[in-house]
Structure 1
């Protein structure tokens, strides 16, 4: 864990001794685990670490990324040997698709690179045949980025904005290191890129998409690029998100810029979805002609909720309730 001493893992170059409790911009010491889970979608054992080198106004995990300031507390420091042993046990018990990586997210795990290195060594010691995954905002130093490319098998890099003004306003940090690291990742680790992505915030980052897409295309037009529709969070809790038409339009902008693999998820609907409206009409008589109850129940029904009127006590699926396990945006 010596990499935490005189810390220069990110581009703030704070130089503090995090092992002795000194605090840099990220405000955290050694790695602390907020949560772990097996992700069927990603085929990964996800490890969420606290702390971040950014102060993003739109962060949907700000209670984790801005730890310890929000006052929420988590699992704390988990020794790498314990983390890997627990991962082995949970992966073995997981009933979903095969897990092929232990993937770190946050916050931004680049500030915990020494912990990732030790986890990788421990995976070899314990014979856990998985790769290392990383999701990052790309504010690593050049040396840290080189180590990330060497260490990680799968990387997601989020380019939050292209212009320095918007990037600083949104994250509190300059954009130049991110663009430099994106170029390095494409040049030295193209096969390790899962996606590059940007959150589309109307009036803020939507105007940045064409420039980001053009920049990525200039590096390699085949790099997968994903647009994520903003949902109210943190300081931007009352800011509007994009429409479906806007997300479609921006994908075309990216293709016009030269990218060949572009997709989006998440938008602000302007009406009740057709499938929900159809289900509400079907359930109207079940709920005694109560339109409000039928519409409300229809959202549960389209997930697969089988008992109507809803009755969780009598439900055959109560141990695997589809209404609580579904993440709707994954199907959009």
Structure 2
């Protein structure tokens, strides 16, 4: 399926008005349909409008509109959705289904992962690059593992094309086959996507094989995996000198659901769980956080709340604020402004964090033609 910008963006510079309050004084994405103020103050009216956008978009890609909750069905349990599948139903991630009374894994096992990979020369555009030894490893590379599934459904996803991969069409690769592509210049591996949370058995198996080759194991994740799977991921990073990078997209749960389709409760719980192990290896940083500065939605107030949450755990956890560029269904928003970024930095600092960086600075104030 080829996704066309015109399916959601109008193609001009008119401001979209919020479908609940009717105001257009701040950026409103046509896909979400409602403004930040309404999501914060009238979520019972605003949130269903945004959820309808998720439903339509998921169905357009042949994905279950919601996580199945069939009474008496087969439980998956690999992530926070905890899908319960009736006969023939697929889970939210699309990789598991109930068939003849058992759970069938279409992908995401050590034997078959739905993914693409490439060698990313170091230093690279990683949210942890500024606190990682990889920044100084010119001539080496990161093994970037792009998983073709996710447990979120972000309407702004810059890697939305993972939805065009499928267990039926591939590409499928075993953990051993993936580990075999590492060479003496493979300094680190990063499991991202999509997200590794929907294929953790594969990622953990591959990570262990790569660790035996001396490769640092890193993760970039929404943190939706089962806590026990997270523990194994953190252990691999601890042992190899890698890190786990959490995308903390919003602190307000209603805003988070509007943007990603999912609650952030498991994400925040797993972040705390991983950060509790920082004393086992203070350097290099074990846990890194990042937040995308989405115009009109993730403002300085939201950043302050996220940063306050992080600082209460450890004020020295590195925090990267990422400039936004319009993607996927939120292609009608502008890029992050330098003013927005500066306000966010000041908010994070006021919340108590000491290690803050703005990433993707080349996108700041960039004009985007519609």
Query: Fold match, TM over 0.5?
Result: yes
Say whether 1:141 aligns with 2:226: yes
The offset of 1:100, in angstroms, is: 2.6
Partner of 1:198: 291
Partner of 1:58: 156
Say whether 1:260 aligns with 2:354: yes
Partner of 1:27: 94
Partner of 2:25: none
Q: What TM-score results when the alignment is normalised by the length of structure 2?
A: 0.62
Partner of 1:232: 326
CA pair 189-67 structure 1, distance change in 2 beyond 3 A = farther
Partner of 1:7: 76
Say whether 1:110 aligns with 2:203: no
The offset of 1:21, in angstroms, is: 8.7
8 Å CA contact retained: 1:39, 1:46: no
Partner of 1:100: 187
8 Å CA contact retained: 1:9, 1:111: yes
CA pair 198-154 structure 1, distance change in 2 beyond 3 A = same
Partner of 2:270: 181
Q: What are the equivalent positions in structure 2 for 1:1-332 lying under 5 Å apart?
A: 7-15=76-84, 23-28=90-95, 29-30=106-107, 31-42=113-124, 43=134, 44-64=142-162, 66-68=163-165, 76-88=171-183, 92=184, 94=185, 99-123=186-210, 127-152=212-237, 153-189=242-278, 191=281, 193-206=286-299, 207-266=301-360, 267-269=363-365
The offset of 1:15, in angstroms, is: 4.8
RCO comparison, higher one (Cα < 8 Å, 6+): 2
The offset of 1:77, in angstroms, is: 1.1
8 Å CA contact retained: 2:165, 2:171: no
Larger radius of gyration: 1
- Cα distance between partner residues in 2 of 1:82 and 1:261: 38
Q: What TM-score results when the alignment is normalised by the length of structure 1?
A: 0.69
- Cα distance between partner residues in 2 of 1:21 and 1:86: 36
- Cα distance between partner residues in 2 of 1:161 and 1:63: 23
Matched residues, number: 252
8 Å CA contact retained: 1:149, 1:189: no
- Report the secondary structure of 1:227's partner residue: strand
Partner of 1:319: none
- Cα distance between partner residues in 1 of 2:340 and 2:356: 14
- Cα distance between partner residues in 2 of 1:33 and 1:131: 19
CA pair 218-74 structure 1, distance change in 2 beyond 3 A = farther
8 Å CA contact retained: 1:34, 1:74: no
> Which shows bigger deviation, 51-60 or 114-123?
114-123
Gaps of at least 5 residues in structure 1 are: 272-332
The offset of 1:146, in angstroms, is: 2.0
Q: CA RMSD in A?
A: 2.6
- Cα distance between partner residues in 1 of 2:89 and 2:318: 39
- Cα distance between partner residues in 2 of 1:235 and 1:248: 26
The offset of 1:147, in angstroms, is: 2.3
8 Å CA contact retained: 2:243, 2:288: no
- Report the secondary structure of 1:87's partner residue: coil
Gaps of at least 5 residues in structure 2 are: 1-73, 96-105, 108-112, 125-133, 135-141
- Cα distance between partner residues in 2 of 1:144 and 1:183: 15
- Cα distance between partner residues in 2 of 1:146 and 1:122: 17
8 Å CA contact retained: 2:208, 2:236: no
Q: Deviations over 1:304-331 (max 9, x none)?
A: xxxxxxxxxxxxxxxxxxxxxxxxxxxx
Q: Deviations over 1:148-174 (max 9, x none)?
A: 222333111010000011000001111
- Cα distance between partner residues in 2 of 1:254 and 1:135: 21
CA pair 16-35 structure 1, distance change in 2 beyond 3 A = farther
